[in-house]
């Protein structure tokens, strides 16, 4: 049985759908990491205050509210199709908006930076809706776990562009060139949109406003029950709250400890990336034996404990080896937690309403990054870095407690997809 599973794994890895998942991850991840890694470094290098940089987390609100326009993307078909058309339109807009950042003075035109960053977030969130729906429609059920895992790891690899390459280039090139070079990497997404075929539509086209806007949400609450749905939605917000807050100001934190842009680009980003990828792949393998519920408990505990490593680093100060060790452990926990969390979201979604439900669930997961993270700069300036990271650890506890109801240790929930063959009602 083990040999058969290994053969199936490698056969699946070689198919075209998994390659598409690699490209969707690269295209989807790059704009987000630009907003949470490159833009804060750019602002801090221009001597913008930590409080203002922390407020820039609010530009990520489109990631939280994308479920509001996701139903319209199911309804409106662009020239290349519902999925490819929206993907390509968003990607072209992203290239232009990212390149335009380099023409702004971040210190004296901070408000304009916020406007353009908000536009990038909106276009990126729109691309995510289309990409998530496209990936859900092309993957058969038996490849959902692997395909989503590959997408997430490619998403992380995309951080090498704005979080590593662009930071290194910033030491030797003007910022206008840095942003245009970064924008050019969106060509991966444009190539994907132009080269793939539009998937067949699952279920009938929504015909009325109610079928477009209401049914995808009411179906979920009817399927799992209002109490379970409310707890699950709270869990999606709380599970990674502490982890998201701890990494919200990661680059300014490294700069405040005295690390150079090049050290951050070469050491910090790689120490974060590869353990996160390893954690994601390891998490996927371990879930085959543990199941999703137990994985959420174990991986969530590792994810919570790893935040304390940042408090240790803040108390020690500028030590490059310790920077690498702490970040590696933190992002190993991030990779494990994300693997289980993504599997949970997939399990909660139905096939027919995948676009809107995925948008809702991933938007809730992005809520801490957009709202709670906005106050991180103020908190750090009041408490200092050490107490801030201790607070982040404590904020991870409510999500763990909620597991008692949404993912009991001794009960492995079955995948429920009652709506996979049903049309809007």
In degrees, to the nearest 5, what angle opens at C-alpha 256 toward C-alphas 255 and 260?
30
Phi/psi at 395 (5° precision): -70, -10
Task: Quote the pLDDT of residue 142.
Answer: 63
CATH architecture, domain 2-411: Up-down Bundle (1.20)
Res 420: pLDDT: 38
CB 117 within 8 A of CB 39: yes
Nearest to 154 by CA among 13, 323, 354: 13
Q: What pLDDT is stored for residue 415 in this prediction? A: 44
Secondary structure (DSSP) of 117-148: HHHHHHHHHHHHHHHHHHHHHHS-GGGHHHHH
Q: Residues 103-149: pLDDT tens digits?
A: 988 888 888 988 999 999 999 999 998 998 888 778 776 676 667 77
Q: What is the pLDDT of residue 92?
A: 95
Q: What is the pLDDT of residues 311-344, one digit of tens each?
A: 999 999 888 889 899 889 988 888 888 878 887 8
pLDDT mean for each 10 residues of the chain (425 residues): 49 69 90 89 82 78 82 81 89 94 85 90 92 81 69 84 88 91 92 86 63 75 84 88 84 87 78 80 75 88 92 89 89 84 79 74 73 77 91 92 87 48 34
Nearest 10 degrees: Cα torsion 216, 220, 226, 230? -90
Nearest Cα residue to 80 out of 89, 71, 72? 89
Cα–Cα distance, 209 to 215 (Å, whole number): 9
Please tell me the distance from the alpha carbon of residue 297 to that of residue 250, in angstroms, as a whole number: 25
Model pLDDT, residue 191: 93
The pLDDT value recorded for residue 369 is 62
DSSP for 154-177?
HHHHTTHIIIIIHHHHHTTS-HHH
Which DSSP letter does residue 203 get? S
410-417 long-range contacts, CB within 8 A, separation 24+? 411/293, 412/291, 412/292, 412/293, 412/294, 413/292, 413/293, 413/347, 415/347, 416/223, 416/224, 416/347, 416/350, 417/141, 417/350, 417/351
CA distance 133 to 360: 12
pLDDT reported for residue 425 = 29
* Other beta carbons less than 10 A from residue 29's beta carbon: 25
């Amino acid at each position: 049985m083990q040999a058969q599973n290994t053969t199936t794994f490698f056969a699946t890895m070689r198919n075209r759908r998994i390659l598409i998942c690699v490209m969707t991850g690269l295209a989807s991840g790059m704009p987000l990491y630009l907003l949470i890694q490159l833009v804060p470094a750019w602002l801090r290098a221009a001597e913008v205050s930590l409080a203002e940089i922390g407020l820039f987390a609010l530009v990520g609100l489109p990631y939280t509210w994308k479920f509001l326009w996701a139903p319209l993307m199911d309804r409106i078909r662009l020239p290349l199709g519902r999925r490819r058309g929206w993907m390509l339109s968003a990607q072209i807009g992203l290239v232009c908006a990212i390149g335009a950042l380099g023409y702004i003075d971040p210190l004296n035109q901070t408000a304009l930076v916020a406007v353009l960053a908000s536009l990038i977030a909106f276009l990126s969130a729109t691309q995510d809706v289309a990409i998530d729906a496209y990936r859900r429609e092309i993957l058969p059920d038996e490849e959902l776990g692997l395909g989503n895992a590959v997408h997430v790891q490619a998403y992380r690899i995309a951080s090498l562009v704005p979080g590593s390459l662009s930071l290194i280039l910033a030491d030797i090139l003007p910022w206008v060139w840095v942003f245009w070079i970064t924008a050019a990497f969106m060509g991966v997404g444009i190539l994907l949109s132009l080269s793939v075929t539009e998937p067949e539509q699952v279920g009938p086209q929504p015909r009325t406003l109610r079928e477009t806007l209401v049914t995808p949400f009411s179906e979920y609450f009817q399927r799992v029950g209002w109490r379970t749905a409310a707890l699950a939605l709270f869990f999606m917000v709380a599970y990674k709250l502490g982890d998201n807050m701890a990494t919200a100001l990661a680059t300014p934190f490294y700069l405040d400890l005295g690390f150079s842009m090049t050290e951050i680009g070469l050491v910090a980003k790689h120490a974060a990336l590869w353990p996160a990828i390893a954690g994601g792949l390891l998490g996927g393998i371990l879930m085959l034996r543990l199941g999703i519920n137990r994985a959420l408990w174990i991986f969530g505990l590792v994810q919570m404990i790893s935040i304390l490593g940042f408090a240790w680093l803040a108390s020690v100060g500028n030590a490059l080896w310790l920077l690498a060790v702490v970040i590696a452990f933190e992002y190993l926990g991030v990779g494990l937690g994300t693997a289980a969390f993504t599997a949970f979201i997939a399990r909660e979604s139905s096939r027919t309403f995948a676009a809107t439900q995925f948008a809702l669930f991933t938007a809730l997961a992005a809520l801490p990054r957009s709202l709670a993270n906005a106050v991180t700069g103020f908190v750090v300036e009041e408490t200092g870095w050490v107490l801030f990271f201790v607070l982040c650890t404590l904020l991870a506890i409510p999500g763990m407690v909620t597991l008692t109801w949404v993912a009991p240790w001794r009960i492995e929930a079955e995948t429920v997809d009652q709506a996979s063959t049903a049309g809007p009602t």
